[in-house]
Amino acid sequence: MTGPPLTLVDLAAMPVSKLERVGPRKLESMEQVGIRSLLDLLTWYPRRYLDRSRESTIAELAAGEEALVLARVVSVESRRVRNHRVMVTAEFRDRSGRLRCTFFNQPWRKQQLETLIGDVEIAVFGRLELFQGRRQMTNPVIDPVGDRTGRIIPVYPQSEKARLTTWNLAEWTGQTLRRCAPRGIADPLPDEIRRRLGLIGRELAFTDIHQPADLHDVHAARNRLVFDELLRLQLALVRRKRELESSSLGIEHAVGPRSDEASVPGLVDRFIGALPYPLTGAQRRAGDEIAADLARPLPMHRLLQGDVGAGKTVVAVEAMLGAVQGGHQAALMAPTEVLAEQHAQGIRSMLAGLTIDDDGSLLGSRPVEVALLTGRTPAAERRRILAGLADGSIPFAIGTHALIEDAVRFASLGVVVIDEQHRFGVEQRAALRDVGSGDAVPDVLVMTATPIPRTAAMTVFGDLDLTVLDELPPGRTPITTEWLVGDEGEAAAWEAVRAEVADGRRAYVVCPLIEESAKLEASSAEEVHDRLRAGPLAGLEVGLLHGRMKADDKQDVMDRFRAGSVQVLVATTVIEVGVDVPEATVMVVLDADRFGIAQLHQLRGRVGRGSAASRCILLTSGPSGPDGSARLEALVRTRDGFELAEIDLDLRGEGTVMGDRQKGRSDLRLASLRRDREWVEAARSVALELVDATGVVTVPELAAELTLLDAEDEAFLTKS
Ligand code: ADP
Ligand code: MG
pLDDT at 170 over 50: yes
Fold identical between 48-155 and 225-473+659-720? no
The residues whose Cβ lies within 5 A of ligand 2, an ion, are: 578
Predicted confidence at residue 91, as pLDDT, reads 95
CA atoms 350, 432, 306, 280: torsion sign: negative
Q: Convert the pLDDT of each residue in 575-634 to its tens digit.
A: 766 577 889 999 999 999 988 888 898 889 889 888 889 999 999 988 888 888 999 999
pLDDT at 17 over 80: yes
- C-alpha 320/C-alpha 267 separation (Å) is 10
Predicted confidence at residue 76, as pLDDT, reads 95
- C-alpha 653/C-alpha 478 separation (Å) is 30
Arithmetic mean of pLDDT, 302-312: 87
Q: Poorest-confidence range of 386-390, 425-429, 637-641? A: 425-429
- Amino acid in position 379: A
pLDDT band at 719 (very low <50, low <70, confident <90, very high): very low
- Quote the strand ranges of 120-249, DSSP E: 121-127, 129-131, 134-138, 141-146, 152-155
| Residue ranges per structural domain of the chain | 8-46+184-224, 48-155, 225-473+659-720, 479-638
The superfamily in CATH containing domain 479-638 is P-loop containing nucleotide triphosphate hydrolases (3.40.50.300)
Predicted confidence at residue 665, as pLDDT, reads 40
* Cα Rg of the chain, angstroms: 31
Which atom of ligand 1 lies at the shortest distance from residue 469's CA?
3
DSSP count for the chain of H helices, then E strands = 25, 24
Which atom of ligand 1 lies at the shortest distance from residue 279's CA?
23
Tell me which architecture the domain covering 225-473+659-720 has in CATH.
3-Layer(aba) Sandwich (3.40)
CA 309 to ligand 1 center in whole angstroms? 5
Name the packing angle between helices 202-210 and 215-247 (round to 10°). Answer: 130
Q: Poorest-confidence range of 140-144, 255-259, 334-338, 365-369? A: 255-259
pLDDT at 428 over 60: no
Arithmetic mean of pLDDT, 450-461: 74
Arithmetic mean of pLDDT, 260-282: 81
Q: Convert the pLDDT of each residue in 674-697 to its tens digit.
A: 778 889 899 999 999 999 988 999
Q: Convert the pLDDT of each residue in 610-622 to its tens digit.
A: 888 999 999 998 8
Listed ranges 59-73, 148-162, 510-524; the one with the highest mean pLDDT: 59-73
Indicate the average pLDDT of the chain.
Answer: 85
Ligand with minimal distance to 470 CA: 1
Predicted confidence at residue 259, as pLDDT, reads 43
Residue nearest to atom 23 of ligand 1 (CA): 279
Name 142's Cβ contacts closer than 8 Å, sequence gap at least 6.
Answer: 101, 109, 112, 113, 122, 123, 124, 125
- C-alpha 76/C-alpha 626 separation (Å) is 36
- Amino acid in position 627: D
Rounded to 5 degrees, φ, ψ at 319 are: -65, -45
- C-alpha 433/C-alpha 428 separation (Å) is 9
Count of CB atoms situated within 10 Å of the CB of 659: 10
Q: Which of 272, 283, 312, 314 to mutate to test the pocket of ligand 1 (most atoms within 8 A of CB)?
A: 314
pLDDT at 408 over 70: yes
Predicted confidence at residue 662, as pLDDT, reads 37
- C-alpha 23/C-alpha 35 separation (Å) is 14
Predicted confidence at residue 174, as pLDDT, reads 94
Arithmetic mean of pLDDT, 121-127: 87
CA 330 to ligand 1 center in whole angstroms? 20
CA 85 to ligand 2 center in whole angstroms? 55
Predicted confidence at residue 663, as pLDDT, reads 34
Tell me which architecture the domain covering 48-155 has in CATH.
Beta Barrel (2.40)
Q: Convert the pLDDT of each residue in 20-35 to its tens digit.
A: 989 999 999 999 888 9
Better pLDDT: 430 or 80: 80
Q: Convert the pLDDT of each residue in 546-582 to its tens digit.
A: 888 888 898 899 899 999 999 999 998 877 665 778 8
pLDDT band at 148 (very low <50, low <70, confident <90, very high): low
pLDDT at 264 over 60: no
Q: Convert the pLDDT of each residue in 504-548 to its tens digit.
A: 999 999 998 776 677 788 888 999 999 999 999 999 999 999 888
Predicted confidence at residue 586, as pLDDT, reads 96
pLDDT at 280 over 90: yes
Give CA torsion, residues 510, 514, 518, 521, to 10 deg. -50
- Candidates 201, 29, 115, 236; CA nearest to 709 is 236
Residue nearest to atom 20 of ligand 1 (CA): 311
Count of CB atoms situated within 10 Å of the CB of 52: 16
